[in-house]
Amino acid sequence: MKFIVIGITDNPQPFFPPEVLEIIKNGKLFSGGKRHHVIVAPLLPADAKWIDITVPLDAVFEQYISRTSNLEPRTSTVIVFASGDPLFFGFANTIRKRMPEADIELFPTFNSLQMLAHRLVMPYHDLRIVSLTGRPWPEFDRALIERTEKIGILTDREHTPAAIARRMLDYGYSNYKMYVGEHLGNPSSERITTLSLEEAILNEFAMPNCVILSRYEVRGTRYENTSEAETSGVQGNLVPRTSHLAPRKNEGNLAPRSPLPAPQKTIALLSGSRRQEIKDNLPAMLKATSVYRGYRIVVAGAPGIEPSYYEPFMKDYSAEIVFGKTYELLSEATMAVVTSGTATLETALFSVPQVVCYKTPVPKLIRFAFNHIIQCKYISLVNLIADEEVVPELMADRFSVENIREELSRIAPGTEGRQRMLEGYHRVRQALGDRRAPEEAARIMVGLLGDFGRRNRPTH
């Protein structure tokens, strides 16, 4: 028996070279997925027979044998349409395994991950390929544990981009950017999306799709220079980064067989840009987060503030500090504690759940002023833009170490509060629209300040 396997994309008007068109014209028995049948149906001969490739595959191969058993050798050919490159985790491999004596002729096209890399103009010679199509997690887990720079993933309806992102965040691998390609090759349906893992959890993606993950690091962290020897012998089993993150149902095999050098979860501390702000807020931030074992605590150093200024506050804590790397830090952070200001909006745009805090003198008097005189509901840009409390604001009499800890626990990975905050961030992005975020935020703030001024203008 002979198989001619033709690779196609999701384009509803596929292009084939003349040689392939001639093969299709003279064919009798065709096979492929139902989606493939819809695409190539206009090209098939009027008397063509079609076999859907569905599970169980045993039944499909039984049809191949029964449909060709009475045919002459020259006509006992099955023309199969398959996605992309049929040898790239494709159906040609299945034919070779099930019918090793079969004659196979191939006409490949670009596979989905190649097309996604081309759309992104991303070199893919170093792309590590993992197929989760009908396969379990261990190979993907191994790629994460070995800190692979770029991972290309073939998905299915169970291992969706959202499920992949959720697994990564649950086990502490938050320092990856995700690129999702949907209906690649289809001019009307193709979509390329770049997003954080936090954003991916909130989205649904059309099938078929594929994913590329690209890793980034905060420079100067203790994980950056992990030697190759440290990762040798890794078995590809993930473990949660903190004791309260137990493996989910049906994942009891995720037990460590060797120490894992992969990055821990990170709490970013953005304590302000002025000395007095840092002095007022950083000590409480450090004390509140010191109980989070298994987390890296990283302070974003302010421009123009010398490192020595931070030393008295940090000397009793195992925290790190980075300068000029705030955006890189936010790209990696799991949670953040942020002094009110533009940093709250930047943190939201990086999809990092946060607690906003600001210490004030005479806190009860300040609270009274806000409630009865100023009549301003919020102090953070995030809440002002959303016109609702998306992030908790611990200012004045609500500012305390205990309250910071409590609010952080509500936005830890896997909590409903974290999910609600990420949904609130989505509404903030909608309010900002398609314009540049800082410009649009400034426009909104001008409007809010105008409203505030009119409400509080003296009437005498």
Domain end, chosen from 83, 109, 135, is at 109
pLDDT tens digits for 276-302? 999 999 999 999 999 888 899 999 999
413 and 307 fall within a common domain: yes
Dist. CA 373–CA 93, nearest whole Å = 73
Residue 164, domain CATH: 3.30.950.10
Question: Is residue 255 situated within a structural domain?
Answer: no
418 and 313 fall within a common domain: yes
Question: Is residue 444 situated within a structural domain?
Answer: yes
Q: Give which of 301, 294, 302 is closest to 273, Cα–Cα.
A: 302
310 and 418 fall within a common domain: yes
17 and 93 fall within a common domain: yes
For 52-72, letters b (16+ CB in 10 Å) and e give ebeeeeeebbebbeebbeeee
**pLDDT of the residue at 224:** 36
Q: How many domains does the chain have?
A: 3
308 and 437 fall within a common domain: yes
104 and 132 fall within a common domain: no
341 and 447 fall within a common domain: yes
DSSP H or E segment with residue 98: helix 91-98
Question: Is residue 231 situated within a structural domain?
Answer: no
Asked whether 393 and 401 are in contact (CB, 8 A), the reply is no
Q: Which of 9-13, 140-144, 244-248 has the lowest mean pLDDT?
A: 244-248
Find the domain containing 18 and state its range: 2-109
Peptide bond into 12 cis (omega under 30): no
Q: Please, what is the average pLDDT of the chain?
A: 81
118 and 206 fall within a common domain: yes
What are the φ and ψ backbone dihedral angles of 387, each rounded to 5 degrees?
55, 40
Dig out the tokens for 189 from the structure.
């349906």
Question: Is residue 244 situated within a structural domain?
Answer: no
Question: Is residue 259 situated within a structural domain?
Answer: no
56 and 82 fall within a common domain: yes
Question: Is residue 257 situated within a structural domain?
Answer: no
The band of 201, judged by pLDDT with boundaries at 50, 70 and 90, is: confident
335 and 369 fall within a common domain: yes
120 and 102 fall within a common domain: no
Q: Does the pLDDT at position 236 exceed 70?
A: no
Q: At what angle do helices 91-98 and 57-68 cross, to 10 degrees?
A: 70
**pLDDT of the residue at 60:** 93
Q: How many residues does the chain have?
A: 460
177 and 221 fall within a common domain: yes
The band of 362, judged by pLDDT with boundaries at 50, 70 and 90, is: low
- Give the pTM: 0.47
Question: Is residue 15 situated within a structural domain?
Answer: yes
Question: Is residue 137 situated within a structural domain?
Answer: yes
pLDDT tens digits for 424-452? 988 888 887 644 444 555 454 445 444 44
What residues are paired with 77 via a beta bridge? 2
Residue 374, domain CATH: 3.40.50.2000
**Cβ neighbours, 10 Å, residue 15:** 10
Domain end, chosen from 109, 131, 149, is at 109
Domain end, chosen from 87, 109, 131, is at 109
Q: Does the pLDDT at position 233 exceed 90?
A: no
Eight-state DSSP code of residue 397: G
**pLDDT of the residue at 433:** 66
Residue 21, domain CATH: 3.40.1010.10
pLDDT tens digits for 82-140? 988 888 888 999 999 999 999 999 999 999 999 999 999 999 999 999 999 988 898 99
